[in-house]
Amino acid sequence: MSIYYILQDQRKCIGCLSCEVHCKSNKGLPLGPRLGQIIPVGPKMVGDVPRQAFVFMPCFHCGEPWCVPACPTGAMRQRPRDGIVYVDHTLCVGCKSCITACPWGAPQWNPETGKVVKCDYCMDRLDQGLKPACVSKCVTHCLEFGKMEEVQRDRRQHFAKLVAFELDKVVSAR
Amino acid sequence: MAQEVYSLCFMCTVRCPIRVEVENDDVTWIEGNPHVPGIEGALCAKGSAGLALLHDTERPQYPMIRTGPRGAGQWRRASWDEALDYVADKLKGIIAAHGPQSLVFGERTNLNTHISKTFMKALGSPNHFTHDALCKGSVNTAFRTLTGFTDPQVGIDYANAKHIVLYGRNIFESLEIKAINNMLAAMDKGAKLTYIDPRVTVTATKADRYWMIRPATDLALNYALMHVILKEGLQDKVYVRRWVKGLKELEAFVAPYTPEWAAQETGIPAEEIVAFAREVAAAKPQVVFHYGYRGAHHPNEIYLRRSLIILNALMGSIETPGGLFFKKGMKAAGRGDIAKYVDQDIPKPSVPRFDGSGGSHFPIADASHGNPQMLAHAILNEDPYPIKALIANRFEPLGSIPDSAGVRQALDKLDLIVAIDVNYSEIAWYADVLLPESTYLERGDSIQAISGLKPQLFIRKPAVSPRYDTKPGWWIIKQLGNRLDIGQYFPFETVEDIWNFQLKDTGVKLADFDQKGFVVLSDKALWWDREKDIKFKTPSGKIELVGTLMENAGFPSFPPYTAVPTPPEGAFRLMVGRTAVHTHVSTQNNLYLNELVPANELWINTQAAAARGIKHGQEVEVSSPLGTKGIIKAKVTDFIHPEAVFMLHGFGKTVPAQTRCYQKGASDALLQENVSDRIGGSPAYDDTLVTVRPV
């Protein structure tokens, strides 16, 4: 598993899809591939109010990825220092084995290059001390990027505060 | 090495401040200006898709002169000199034969509007109009009748609100980043959100209370709320006593409008209306009854918008933290005003306006914006005089004025149509001459003075050089002015000249923008004293419930409630609205935005659809009383009221050069009848009843 994680605060996400365009415009992608996709679910009635969820689906950067061993050329690889799963485009031959192997649909087809493209947490930006494009420009700042343990800690603290003082919100948020 | 340029987005009219990274004269990254509170780097989908606009090959790339029939797509490339000479020669002939008023100039209000207004004034034509009336004319008029201020002079302090009430103001889809973040911050601190709409939008799914109100009955709900508030004495009594004139008249007027009566109209149970009135009053004065942005639904719109502002007045929330505020300008910050070229000494044209704005057709509408929905009528009937030429500056008469087929027919009578646009819009494709404007990333524009609690100045600087042979709008207007012998009113060569002229009385220098891209003119929020010193601009200096402006024009302030007619069996009320990834009529062909939302769908209630044999995802034909039709996919859902159907605005395009959106979805403007609120000035966009059948 990559040491990083993107946490999505469903209460703040408004499903505006800006993260998808931030990603595509940053990587200069053509029509087709959607590396981090928002999947809207609902609306459905929860009590007397309608609720909808917008589930953010980037690559999970698995600890033991299905895609890496499936790749016959070594193009799909895992960065040793932080576990980011990425494609070396010079080695990709467009065989689509990784697309077949991934249970989550993370590797995407780039029809312009005839190769695979996937979420790499914008590792070129990370290496400059920046955050992934989707997180940097999220309209409501509902996406949070960080090391696994930091994000997890933040999440529990936030939840604890809600449970302590605003239990009704915890119930109505989903 | 990357350079950074602070500028202003223009993918929509909100114009969020942006920071652009440039390498080798190409844009590599756009983000929200990280220094602006409430933005902090954030940018919407449209903002990031600015890169796709910049690099788009499906936008006009050089001046073009029509060679075939209008709209046939037969063009020849022209040089700028040739195209401008061509337009100027034609205009000279038209003006000589029919007078300057035979030219109308329509635009979406933009930072250079003071320059286009100068152009028309100097020519002697009163016929500059903006898109504003189509969007919010009735909101504007409602504010003027009650407070003396226009709606752009009013803002909302979301961050400190305790209860926000939205009537179809779909704030999370028709979005302004700053407002959203301030609102989410308030909700995080416990503010409540009530959302009222016949359709479940994203905003509805975030609300604490949602009412699926019967379409077109919001006014009945508001009269009942006032009834409960006044009967139970829930209003801010001190504020109302000090600032509200005409309370007795209001009390008498709303007496018959009980919650039980409103329940019949709206479908909202009476006890819920009463409970809501009490709950919202408990949060007063930190209450916002949002007065609407695109406030243009039915012919009685003025009364709905007035009722919303009156509810704020009863809550004591006007000029109150957590409520509404009047925006403070340069002078309030102790500065000189930003200079405008239109304030030069130019005689005011003496002929009346073509659209009867502020006159015969719309006596109290805001004539500084005009009423574009009169365009077809004026051309076809030569009422009040012949119209022979139209310049459309990023204004889309064929997508934003109702009954677009009627508008197209009227345009055929014109001797000259000129379009200034960054896109192959419908009007650009129908024009005789297309003058392509550079995108906002390729041009500088006039400085933006933003009034508010803290007045600020923002600037749009060019990030890169134009990709194609395009020019800024202000340059195009000046060149036309030179050729029409009014060049002296455009004493600038470069955008820097414009900026320096604008700043001359402000004490601000161009260099002040370098560090962060904007200049804040007040450290503290400028509020008027809500107990003693709110400077209402009405004759009485108070909020006039019985409005002088209304009454003097012969319009009653409180006419008895008349219901908007219920659709007969088999018909639906056609509602329109927005998505977070498109801007009105202008982004449907954008590579990235088109991919996310390529077409509109027709929302139709599950039971209503079943009764007509309509299945989810199936194509249906929508027919208007105008005889026009649209083919569109049905979205069958429980989340819309059975009396209404809904589609997104701005689809059903007919320009083949826009290959991505060509003929995708249905055009709302083609289906809508051109009916207006004659008092407020807006067209009634949700007033058309349509029929729907499977195809």
Q: Using 50, 70 and 90 to split pLDDT, how confident is the model at B293?
A: confident
- Please report the beta strands in B334-428, taking only residues with DSSP state E, as ranges in sequence order: 389-393, 416-421
Q: Is the pLDDT of residue B355 over 50?
A: yes
Whether A10 and chain B come into contact, CB under 8 Å, resolves to no
What integer pLDDT is reported at residue B558 of this predicted model? 98
Query: Does residue B285 have a cis bond before it (omega within 30 degrees)?
Result: yes
Amino acid letter, residue B293: Y
- CA distance to partner chain A, nearest, from residue B639 (Å): 8
Q: Calculate the average pLDDT of chain B.
A: 97
Write the residue in B40, B190, B204 that is nearest to A50 by C-beta. Answer: B204
Mutation for B interface: A18, A31, A162, most B CBs within 10 A:
A18
B520-537 pLDDT, tens digit per residue, is 999 999 999 999 999 999
Q: What is the pLDDT of residue A166?
A: 67
pLDDT digits (tens, 9 = 90+) for B202-234: 999 999 999 999 999 999 999 999 999 999 999
CA distance B251 to B546: 12
**Is B21 part of the contact surface with chain A (CB cutoff 8 Å)?**
no
Separation CA B49–CA B591 (nearest Å): 8
Contact A9/B at CB under 8 A = no
User: Cα separation of B147 and B158, whole Å?
Assistant: 21
Residue A21 to residue B202, Cβ atoms within 8 A: no
What is the spatial distance between Cα B632 and Cα B609, in angstroms, rounded to a whole number?
A: 14
With a pLDDT cut of 70, the percent of chain B lying above it is 100
CB contact under 8 A, A50 and B210: yes
A173 pLDDT above the threshold of 50: no
Q: Is residue A171 over pLDDT 80? A: no
Interval B313-340: pLDDT, tens: 999 999 999 999 999 999 999 999 999 9
Instruction: Identify whether the C-beta of residue B487 lies closer than 8 Å to the C-beta of residue B344.
Output: no
Q: How far, in Å, CA of B223 to CA of B244, rounded?
A: 17
Please provide the average confidence, as pLDDT, over all residues in chain A.
92
If you measure CA to CA, which chain B residue comes closest to A43?
Answer: B205
The answer, yes or no, to whether residue B2 has pLDDT greater than 90, is no
* A172, pLDDT greater than 60: no
Q: Where do we find the tokens 């933006």?
A: B448
pLDDT digits (tens, 9 = 90+) for B5-32: 999 999 999 999 999 999 999 999 999 9
The 8 Å CB, 24+ separation contacts for B34-40 are: B35/B516, B35/B517, B35/B518, B36/B178, B36/B518, B37/B178, B38/B177, B38/B178, B38/B179, B38/B181, B38/B182, B39/B177, B39/B178, B39/B181, B40/A141, B40/B181
The complex's ipTM works out to: 0.96
- Do residue A14 and residue B177 have CB atoms under 8 angstroms apart? no
How far is Cα A73 from Cα A75, in angstroms, rounded to an integer?
5
Place A155 in a pLDDT band, splitting at 50, 70 and 90.
Answer: confident
A112 to chain B, closest Cα gap in Å = 14
The closest of A56, A57, A48 to A171, measured between CA atoms, is: A48
Per-residue confidence (pLDDT) for residue A174, from 0 to 100:
40
Give tens-digit pLDDT for B146-194: 999 999 999 999 999 999 999 999 999 999 999 999 999 999 999 999 9
pLDDT digits (tens, 9 = 90+) for A34-66: 999 999 999 999 999 999 999 999 999 999 999
pLDDT reported for residue B433: 98
Q: Does B166 touch chain A (CB under 8 A)?
A: no
Cross-chain Cβ contact B32/A50 below 8 Å: no
Mean local confidence (pLDDT), B259-270: 98
Q: For B613-656, how does the pLDDT look when each residue is reduced to its tens digit (9 = 90+)?
A: 999 999 999 999 999 999 999 999 999 999 999 999 999 999 99
Smallest CA–CA distance, residue A69 to chain B, in Å, is 32
Rounded CA-CA distance B273/B271 in Å is: 5
| A26 in B contact zone (CB under 8 Å) | yes
Contact A140 B184 (CB under 8 A): yes
3-state secondary structure of B218: helix
Measured between alpha carbons, how far is B599 from B417 in angstroms, rounded to an integer? 29
pLDDT band at B389 (very low <50, low <70, confident <90, very high): very high
Alpha carbons within 13 A on the beta-carbon side of A64: 0
- Per the DSSP assignment, residues forming a β-bridge with A27 are none
Over 90: is that where the pLDDT of B547 sits?
no
Residue type, B147: T
Q: What is the DSSP string of A32-63?
A: S--SSEEEEEEEEEETTEEEEEEEEE-----S
Q: Is the pLDDT reported for residue A154 higher than 90?
A: no
Whether B1 shows a pLDDT value over 90: the answer reads no
CB contact under 8 A, A16 and B207: no
- pTM for this model (two decimals): 0.97
Does B593 contact A at CB distance below 8 Å? Answer: yes
**What is the per-residue pLDDT for B217?**
98
Give percent above pLDDT 90 in chain A. 83
What pLDDT sits at residue B49? Answer: 98
**Helix residue spans in B513-623 (DSSP H):** 548-552, 591-596, 606-611
Q: Is the peptide bond before A43 cis (omega within 30 degrees of 0)?
A: yes
